[in-house]
Structure formats: structure tokens, C-alpha cells
Amino acid sequence: MGVAGLTHGHVGWILNYKKNDIVEVVGIAEPNRDLAERLAKQYGFSMDLVYSSLDEMLDKKKPEAVTAFNSIYQHLGVVKACAPRGIHVMVEKPLTYRLDHAKEMESLANQYNIKLLTNYETTWYGSNHKAYQMVNTENAIGPIRKWLFMMDIAAQKKLMLALIF
């Protein structure tokens, strides 16, 4: 996995990669050396992983996928750099701030047959995967017309899922 940028507040989950065997970070593209050094100390990664440009990191490390933790405005640039190389991309939410960027990102993903994902926290919840399985595999209920996700903030509990039929 390559990392494009370190400025998004959710970058910590990928920088904690050493705590699991699921992903290996092979390179980080971050032009702000001070920021990279601060996070390297905080998360314990080597500055040998850090490159000043995305193209340099992609060419030298050849990751299978890239996570974009840079500004939303830079998401299109990440897709433009990765798609022609056949590298899948996950961007932090939101995908982009402009419709023309979204359409260009979609076009590049389709043209180069890569996966382009937006990381919404709810994507990773086991309860959502189970609900999807119940609807699409087990036909436990009728078709879903709308999914509504809400966080029970007062109780600080798990995600509450409401299916509207």
C-alpha cells in the first residue's frame, strides 16, 4: 500500500499498519518533510518510506493500491497518477468537491480498470456487511430502497442501522 499525503486527520489508521498483518505500507508521498518527520516519530515508521512526490513513490515502490490522505482538491491528481499504472485508489471522504473532478475520476477508473473507493467509516462495519449479505445473498427481506446510517452519539455505542423499505 502506498500513502498519498499525510494531511488528512484520519491518516492515523494506515500509519498504525505495524499493529496488524493486513497491509504493508511500502511508501509515503508527502512533500512537507516536517509533517512527515513528526508523524514518523509519533507512529514509528522510517523516513526511508517517505518520498517528496507521488510519482517518485509510485515509480520506485510500485504499490498495489494507494490511500489518499491529502487534501480533497488533490484526490483527482492521485487518480490521474495511479490509474494509468493500474494502481487502485482509496480516497478519504468526500470523493471530491467538484462534479467535473468526480466524472473525470470515474472515467479514469473505468478506462484503466481500477477500483476507486471513498472511505466511509460505515463501509467497514461488520453489521453493514451482515445486512448486505442478508439482503443480497439470503433474500431475507425485500429489496432495499434506501440505507440510512446514524450514530448513537449520546450512548457512544455501535452504529444504528435503519432499513427503509
pLDDT tens, residue order, the chain (165 aa): 999 999 988 888 888 876 666 788 999 999 999 999 999 999 999 999 999 999 999 999 999 999 999 999 999 999 999 999 999 999 988 899 999 999 999 999 999 999 999 987 666 677 777 877 888 888 888 777 776 655 544 433 333 333 333
**What are 88's strand-pairing partners?**
65
Q: Cα–Cα distance between 127 and 150 in angstroms, integer?
A: 13
Pairing outcome for strands 146-151 and 159-164: antiparallel
Question: Tell me, what's the pLDDT at 5?
Answer: 97
Question: Tell me, what's the pLDDT at 123?
Answer: 67
Strand 88-92: give its sheet, edge to edge.
50-51, 27-29, 2-4, 65-68, 88-92, 116-119
Question: Tell me, what's the pLDDT at 78?
Answer: 98
Question: Tell me, what's the pLDDT at 57?
Answer: 98
Question: Tell me, what's the pLDDT at 20?
Answer: 65
The DSSP code for 44 is T
Nearest to 91 by CA among 77, 111, 107: 77
**Long-range contacts (CB closer than 8 Å, 24 or more residues apart) made by 137-145:** 141/165
What's the pTM? 0.76
Residue 138 in grid coordinates: 439470503
CA dihedral of 20, 24, 30, 35, whole degrees rounded to 10: 30
